[in-house]
Structure 1
């Protein structure tokens, strides 16, 4: 798989508050690109739905997140889904358990949310679930693979398409090994590999700490960050190069999912430079 193919088909994660920034650069983004909209605790459903509508109106495909433990009731989930499909043409969503240790309603995890049947009845056609190349913080490795496989099977049996979106990582070798194991587990669904867009090194380290991502000196060096320049900015060039090299000669359904921690415009600048690099 060519590195340029990974970049050209990249999807993006954009918060509701960053929709104006997305609108300002919309002409630089491939029409139809999937835009993932996180479920943030400081925002209500109206803000999330407004973001999804704006994404659709800009010519992109909205993919709102559903945070199971933050949803207060079956009725609240149904109401959100009905509005998302009717008002914003939503056909795909990304389901996560969410951070709260105690659920606000009846959903302890994303599997419980999928199991309601409300997604397919509302008209959702694709359901994203999380992948964890560095392991899940609350599960053993074996449990993690079992849960991921079960969720993908349940989604498929309900007539929807599974999509796996991974947490971002700094070590392409770890991601490639995880992809090998994923396929060995018999899970052949499309995968989007989370990758941070260019940002200051302290900002990347802060997000890594928040998300439980390994960011030791040795891991950062494999990403292309030298300990001698911790106050600089880093982009994912080395990571994407190594990922593409590891996927060379395969037709695996793998793409990138970009987290624009340093800003959407800066991430697009990087994508454009990367395409032109070495005459690509």
Structure 2
């Protein structure tokens, strides 16, 4: 694999172009904490799109509030809309109206982690279908992809669900995966099944190894997370001394953006709110590519 480090041979022009395009197609995922708005304003350019996560513990309120605040600052932000936290059609209508008034024109629809749905929406598909029938203003609707499968749902059901949801969506963002080969193979399989939506590969941002292990293992994100949990003595193979950096995954996936066998279109970085580190990584890589190093 060609190194991006200063003093290396540098990527060939076509590879450099792929890497540059990938950097320009990056978006960030952020967590709705009290300090997040301030961190975004300090470290993230308004040209970078973001999504805001949601959890059962916090509910939809903090997610929607942060998305609206950041939109007011000139960012393009899509809140995660967890179907199992939406009570009923009236609640959904109110959410859509609230986001329309704030100028939020995108959402990312997930099923959510709540064991018991708040109402009649059991999964992302049922919410997407209802949203479509009610009408909405959203120009961007993202749905999730699972290169390593889902711990609680069979691969067959996952494949069928993404085909159904794709009819209502504009793009797919994959769950966190540490293996470029697995993500690429999944994207090829998805296209063979007739799903033509652009796919944005979900990879970690520049995150401390402790935070990455803790969050990944806690989320149960497939074989990559299990490996990290069980083989911590081998972390040196994956993490640089200062912590995890996305270089290897980025380099492995960026050239695939030009392939016709997949619809890979860019990257979505799970920042875990390590915004200063992640943005510094992106800018440093931009500078290296711009200098041809």
* Band the TM-score falls in, shorter-chain normalisation: 0.7 to 0.9
Task: Pick from 198, 222, 227 the counterpart of residue 190 of structure 1.
Answer: 198
Structure 1 residue 25 corresponds to structure 2 residue 43: yes
Structure 1 residue 49 corresponds to structure 2 residue 64: yes
More deviation, 104-113/67-76: 67-76
Q: What's 2:12 paired with?
A: none
Cα 1:235/1:262, change in 2 over 3 Å: farther
Q: What's 2:281 paired with?
A: 270
Equivalent residues of 1:201, 1:231 under 8 A apart: no
Structure 2: gaps (5+ residues): 1-16
Structure 1 residue 254 corresponds to structure 2 residue 262: no
Q: What's 2:156 paired with?
A: 142
Displacement of 1:139 in angstroms is 2.3
TM-score (norm 1): 0.85
Displacement of 1:229 in angstroms is 6.8
Where does 1:108-127 land on structure 2 (aligned, <5 Å)? 108-117=122-131, 121-127=135-141
Equivalent residues of 1:69, 1:98 under 8 A apart: yes
Q: What's 1:234 paired with?
A: 244
Equivalent residues of 2:141, 2:171 under 8 A apart: yes
Deviation sequence 1:175-203 (CA, Å, 0-9, x none): 01111101111111111111111112121
Deviation sequence 1:60-117 (CA, Å, 0-9, x none): 212011111122222122111111111x212211111111121111111111111213
- How many residue pairs match? The answer is 268
Cα 1:230/1:268, change in 2 over 3 Å: closer
Equivalent residues of 1:201, 1:230 under 8 A apart: no
Q: What's 1:180 paired with?
A: 188
CA RMSD of aligned residues (A): 2.7
Q: What's 2:4 paired with?
A: none
Other structure's SS at 1:174 match: helix
* Higher RCO by CA contacts (8 Å cutoff, separation 6 or greater): 2
Structure 1 residue 208 corresponds to structure 2 residue 224: no
Q: What's 1:133 paired with?
A: 147
Equivalent residues of 2:31, 2:273 under 8 A apart: no
Q: What's 2:14 paired with?
A: none
